Amino acid sequence: MTGTLPRRATAPPAPAPWSEERTAMLAEEAARRTPAVTDPVATARVDGAAVRVDLDLVVDHGAPLTAVAEAVRRRVAARIEAHTGLTVESVTVTVVDLRLPGAAPTGPEDTGGHPAAAPSADEREAT
């Protein structure tokens, strides 16, 4: 008797592992999208299917720090889990500085990716 055996189901290919650097960059991008946050610097530690993220942020003066930190935690965890499939064990947020109103932008994200404009004559005289 001859016949054909059914094909064995193959497991789907394993997703490409996310490096700690790529995961940190994803966390920084997510934090940058949170209002009142600038200059995020992230460190990620990937251990198997879990990740821990440490974030240092600069926050606008007058912003409610606990609310901003919680918004960053939620946004970063959701973004990482959605894009990587990793389980976020923790997101530690540290506010390292406050940006005062009228302070010069500190990075390209503050100027929309364009170099900061030169101060006007009135601004130069005021200093």
> Per-residue pLDDT tens for 2-12?
555 556 655 55
Tell me how far CA of residue 39 lies from CA of 14, 31, 88, in angstroms. 34, 9, 22
- The whole model's pTM is what? 0.68
Check pLDDT > 70 for residue 26. Answer: yes
38: its two tokens: 């600038």
CB distance 37 to 52 below 8 Å: no
Write out the DSSP string of 56-93. Answer: EEEEETTS-HHHHHHHHHHHHHHHHHHHH--EEEEEEE
> Per-residue pLDDT tens for 39-94?
999 999 999 899 999 999 999 999 999 999 999 999 999 999 999 999 999 999 99
